């Protein structure tokens, strides 16, 4: 039996996507060759790349709006420096809402001045800062829409006239936003879209070309756009699998449809966390993430019992990140409402037993 996968990464995908991807590794669409052995310049793969790029823009509502979608190597971590390479001329602003923001800031500092516009670091990142003033003289403002480790999520995207750049690795395609408020969005595939090894970058074309430094080709978004996201050999398997997931999402009714399911899942789990006296939520209530729910046991003595119970029920990946402790239930798009139901039943069973 397939386990209920609450793991934070990499990666949970729809079963039908997994099956189709697996079979394409043996043979792609009856062409007598594997997906991973055909040329990336073949018509078959060029079509796959085009479809992946087009589906990404379509699902985000950014088609024909001056945006380009790229599938690049290096993970979201590579974007920490590519963003600065391409956008930081003098001074950039970052909201520091977690480990990933912190890492993005560290990389950006190699390229210019970085202002931490606001930070929740002194409270172990358990909330999203709200009252702060954004300086007007920044090249861009960078935010992390969902903080995977701490389980917080921006419910309101900051309003600014500055170019807005967002690390959306762990909540892209999970909820509706006006995506045209961003000049650049990036997301490692492995949380909500595909296997590790590819990163989606969605960039507004006319936001580029504003820095004076020379940019190495591999780091230059313009080069990747000019080469249709095939400047060098793309990671063909992660791109293909991401394309299948995006197609799956489109067939389901797009972001509007999955958002409903994601809200139901989050509501189900958070109401159990709030009503069950044995559990405590980690993140501030108003900032709770619909993707990663962080919580702890009120009484650590119950740990062994609870751990045995959820493992017995076929749940995987519930342990919290070491910097938070306790538990983290990641509820990405491909995790079903039924799986969350299984977890919630275990939590209330524990209350009955204790």
Ligand X SMILES: *Cc1c(COP(=O)(O)O)cnc(C)c1O
* d(C-alpha 262, C-alpha 281), whole Å: 18
Which residue number has the CB closest to ligand X?
75
Asked if 174 and 291 count as a contact pair (C-beta separation under 8 A), the reply is: yes
Asked if 273 and 280 count as a contact pair (C-beta separation under 8 A), the reply is: yes
Q: Least Å distance between CB 38 and ligand X?
A: 26
Task: Tell whether residue 290 is among the known ligand binding residues.
Answer: no
* d(C-alpha 341, C-alpha 246), whole Å: 25
Q: Least Å distance between CB 202 and ligand X?
A: 15
Judged by the rule CB under 6 A, the positions of this chain that interact with ligand X are 9, 75-77, 100, 144, 148, 167, 169-170, 188, 191
Task: Tell whether residue 96 is among the known ligand binding residues.
Answer: no
* d(C-alpha 240, C-alpha 120), whole Å: 38
Q: Least Å distance between CB 346 and ligand X?
A: 26
Task: Tell whether residue 199 is among the known ligand binding residues.
Answer: no
Q: Least Å distance between CB 4 and ligand X?
A: 20
Vertex 26 angle, CA 24 and 31, to 5°:
70
Nearer to ligand X, 194 or 254 (CB): 194
Give the other-Cβ count within 10 Å of 213's Cβ. Answer: 10
Task: Tell whether residue 322 is among the known ligand binding residues.
Answer: no
Nearer to ligand X, 188 or 235 (CB): 188
Nearer to ligand X, 148 or 333 (CB): 148
Of 290, 289, 270, the residue nearest 280 (C-alpha): 270
- Contacts (Cβ under 8 Å, ≥6 apart) of 104: 80, 83, 94, 142, 144, 167
Nearer to ligand X, 28 or 328 (CB): 328
* d(C-alpha 303, C-alpha 319), whole Å: 11
Q: Least Å distance between CB 76 and ligand X?
A: 3
- Cα-Cα end-to-end distance for the chain: 29
- Contacts (Cβ under 8 Å, ≥6 apart) of 258: 173, 174, 249, 252, 333
Nearer to ligand X, 7 or 169 (CB): 169
Task: Tell whether residue 41 is among the known ligand binding residues.
Answer: yes
Of 204, 219, 232, 226, the residue nearest 111 (C-alpha): 219
Of 181, 120, 182, the residue nearest 149 (C-alpha): 120
Task: Tell whether residue 152 is among the known ligand binding residues.
Answer: no
Q: Annotated catalytic sites, by residue?
A: 100, 167, 191
Nearer to ligand X, 237 or 306 (CB): 237
- Contacts (Cβ under 8 Å, ≥6 apart) of 262: 174, 175, 290, 291, 331, 333
Q: Least Å distance between CB 349 and ligand X?
A: 31
Task: Tell whether residue 160 is among the known ligand binding residues.
Answer: no
- The SS3 call for residue 135 is coil
> Annotated binding site for pyridoxal 5'-phosphate: which residue ranges?
76-77, 100, 148, 167, 190, 232-233
Q: Binding site membership for L-glutamate: which residues? A: 41
Residues in the annotated binding site: 41, 76-77, 100, 148, 167, 190, 232-233
């Amino acid at each position: 039996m397939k386990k209920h996968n609450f793991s934070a990464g990499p990666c949970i995908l729809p079963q039908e996507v997994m099956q189709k991807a697996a079979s394409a590794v043996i043979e792609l669409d009856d062409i007598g060759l594997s997906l991973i052995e055909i040329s990336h310049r073949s018509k078959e793969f060029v079509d796959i790349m085009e479809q992946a790029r087009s589906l990404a823009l379509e699902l985000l509502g950014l088609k024909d709006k001056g945006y380009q979608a790229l599938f690049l190597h290096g993970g979201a971590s590579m974007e920490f420096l590519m963003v600065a390479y391409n956008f930081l001329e003098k001074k950039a602003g970052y909201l520091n809402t977690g480990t990933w923001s912190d890492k993005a800031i560290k990389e950006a500092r190699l390229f210019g001045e970085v202002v931490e516009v606001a930070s929740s670091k002194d409270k172990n990142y358990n909330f999203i800062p709200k009252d702060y003033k954004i300086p007007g003289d920044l090249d861009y403002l960078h935010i992390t829409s969902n903080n995977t480790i701490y389980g917080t999520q921006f419910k309101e995207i900051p309003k600014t006239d500055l170019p807005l750049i967002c690390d959306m690795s762990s909540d892209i395609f999970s909820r509706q936003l006006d995506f045209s408020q961003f000049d650049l969005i990036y997301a490692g595939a492995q949380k909500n879209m595909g296997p590790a090894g590819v990163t989606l970058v969605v960039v507004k074309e006319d936001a580029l070309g504003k820095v004076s430094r020379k940019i190495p080709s591999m780091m230059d978004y313009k080069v990747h756009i000019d080469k249709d996201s095939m400047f060098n050999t793309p990671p063909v398997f992660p791109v293909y699998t991401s394309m299948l997931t995006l197609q799956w999402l489109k067939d389901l009714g797009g972001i509007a449809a999955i958002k409903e399911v994601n809200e139901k899942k989050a509501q189900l789990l958070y109401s159990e966390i709030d009503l069950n006296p044995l559990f405590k939520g980690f993140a501030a209530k108003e900032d709770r993430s619909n993707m990663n729910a962080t919580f702890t046991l009120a009484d650590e003595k119950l740990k062994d019992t609870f751990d045995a119970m959820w493992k017995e029920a076929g749940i995987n990946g519930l342990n919290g990140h070491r910097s938070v402790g306790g538990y983290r239930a990641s509820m990405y798009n491909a995790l079903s409402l039924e799986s969350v139901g299984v977890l919630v039943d275990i939590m209330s069973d524990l209350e009955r037993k204790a």
